Amino acid sequence: MRCEGGYNRMRMSLERVRIVLVEPRGPINVGATARAMKNMGARELVLVAPRCPPLHPHAITMAVAARDILSGARVFETLQEATASSSLVVGTTRRKGKRRGHTLTPREAAEEILRVAQTQRVSLLFGPEDRGLSNRELDLCQEVVTIPADERYGSLNLAQAVMIVLYELHLAAHPPTPQDRKLATSEELEAMYQHLEEVLSRIGFLHGDNPQRMMTALRRIFGRARLDAREVRIIRGILHQVEWALEREGHPGTSKEG
């Protein structure tokens, strides 16, 4: 289990993840990528030989509140220059093959990416919209990621691919906080089950010859719910109300206090 300090380091490591768009063909995807980055906590955008400048009007429109990421974007002529200072380079590809080697899903790669990015620069490479990364470009990568998609049409939009990978990183860097929820004790549950059986018997829901068969099924249902003490009290309150209604209607039986 990671400590709180570990969580903070993982969150900060997202800021050392560099999104590298190789030869992006249009400003719309560049702007949408900037927005995805800001949504997920990444800050550094790099463009390799782009056709349009980062602050193209269409890119600014698509970026919405992420204009600061576009303003800070760095432009390089070659991929080697863009990744020179990175200790881990991760490429993305849709195509698989012997030349491309073993690929990971974004979820499988997230832990390693964040671990390295705690102290060092990591570059995530995304290829041109029309062809993706070439084999030579992937040769610069230590890991290769493939996003699982329908085999009939597995080609993702560039900005969508960036969002999916960053989402998995964000999820890994911000694990859900464990809830401080105190479950009901066995004693509380058994008192509830006894009360439930009594009330269900009074209203004729349980079969007289074998009431335990239904009670076993109900135990399994409530057992999967992992009831806490407050929820047990709510259920018993309902049962008390049923008993009160039965008494008003003149049905025999004795209400029992839990």
- Phi, psi of 18, deg, nearest 5: -95, 125
How far apart CA 90 and CA 215 sit, in angstroms, is 55
pTM: 0.72
CATH class of 4-173: alpha beta
Report the DSSP beta bridge partners of residue 228: 183
- Looking at residue 126, what is its pLDDT? 97
- Looking at residue 91, what is its pLDDT? 96
- Looking at residue 169, what is its pLDDT? 95
Give residue-wise pLDDT tens across range 100-127.
Answer: 568 999 999 999 999 999 999 999 999 9
- Looking at residue 256, what is its pLDDT? 46
In which residue ranges of the chain is CATH 3.40.1280.10 found? 4-173
- Looking at residue 257, what is its pLDDT? 45
- Looking at residue 97, what is its pLDDT? 59
Give residue-wise pLDDT tens across range 190-236.
Answer: 999 999 999 999 998 987 778 888 999 999 999 999 999 999 999 99
| 103's tokens | 């690929």
Average pLDDT, the chain: 89
SS3 at position 165: helix
- Looking at residue 100, what is its pLDDT? 55
- Looking at residue 224, what is its pLDDT? 94
Q: Mean pLDDT by 10-residue block, N- to C-terminus, for the chain (258 residues)?
A: 49 85 95 96 96 96 97 96 96 74 90 93 94 92 93 89 96 78 93 96 84 92 94 97 90 51
Q: What are the DSSP calls for 48-65, one per residue?
A: ES-SS-TT-HHHHHHHGG
In which residue ranges of the chain is CATH 1.10.8.590 found? 186-248
- Phi, psi of 237, deg, nearest 5: -65, -40
How far apart CA 217 and CA 49 sit, in angstroms, is 65
What number does CATH give the domain 186-248?
A: 1.10.8.590
